[in-house]
Amino acid sequence: MRTKRAFTPIEKATDEAGSENKEADGGIKSPSAHTVRERSSLMGFTLLEIMITVVIVGVLAALAIPSYWGALERSRQREAVVNLGLLLDSQKRYYLEYDPGSYTTDFADLDMDDPTPNAKYFSYTLGATAAAVATATRLTTENAVNANYGDYNITVNETGVMILSNTASRQPPAP
């Protein structure tokens, strides 16, 4: 009489001709009989491992998203910085050539067009004083994402210094 062995390697049965046809003991493998590769393919993730992964991803997202919004706003401010620089140069040329001692408030007097129609994130106005040669106002009405920092202005004075002014509680990044 043959006894059933538990947790032994697989034995192959042979028929009368000597060819292998099926596994002994009904073809059931014991856990120790699986190779390392077979065991790793049978194992899954535990609930604890999945929960730890979700927590780590959540913490990384909580740290990365505010940094992303700040970087996105700084890239949008580049539009204002470039256009304010061009407006300042144009205002200086007007100041020297046409009316020494004052700046214009009319884009038609300058040697460049109003950048507002082509601007995506800011509208532009000209100032007649040395303290505010040109101002860019952030357009936050296009969608809720742009309203993170509220309306704010970037003003350039005659020396080229750009001043950020904001009335909202959340301060935008400096240009």
Share of the chain above pLDDT 70, in %: 67
Of 90, 76, 98, which is closest to residue 146 (Cα–Cα)? 76
| pLDDT, position 139 | 79
**DSSP secondary-structure letter at 17?**
T
Alpha helices in 8-156 (DSSP H): 36-42, 47-97
| pLDDT, position 149 | 72
Average pLDDT over residues 137-158: 75
CATH 3.10.170 fits 57-166, yes or no: no
| Element spanning 14, H or E | strand 12-14
| Element spanning 7, H or E | none
pTM for this entry: 0.62
| pLDDT, position 27 | 57
- Say which residue, 138 or 50, is predicted with more confidence: 50
Distance CA 9, CA 28 (A): 10
What's the pLDDT tens digit per position in 98-122?
A: 877 788 899 999 989 999 898 888 9
CB atoms within 10 A of CB 70: 14
Paired with 145 in beta bridges are none
- Say which residue, 60 or 166, is predicted with more confidence: 60
What's the pLDDT tens digit per position in 59-104?
A: 999 999 888 888 888 888 899 999 999 999 999 999 898 877 788 8
pLDDT band at 44 (very low <50, low <70, confident <90, very high): confident
Distance CA 95, CA 109 (A): 11
For residue 16, is pLDDT > 90? no
> Tokens in use for 111?
């040697």
Radius of gyration of the chain (CA): 36
> Tokens in use for 68?
């992303």
Distance CA 86, CA 80 (A): 10
What's the pLDDT tens digit per position in 122-133?
A: 999 998 888 888
**DSSP secondary-structure letter at 31?**
G
| Element spanning 164, H or E | strand 162-166
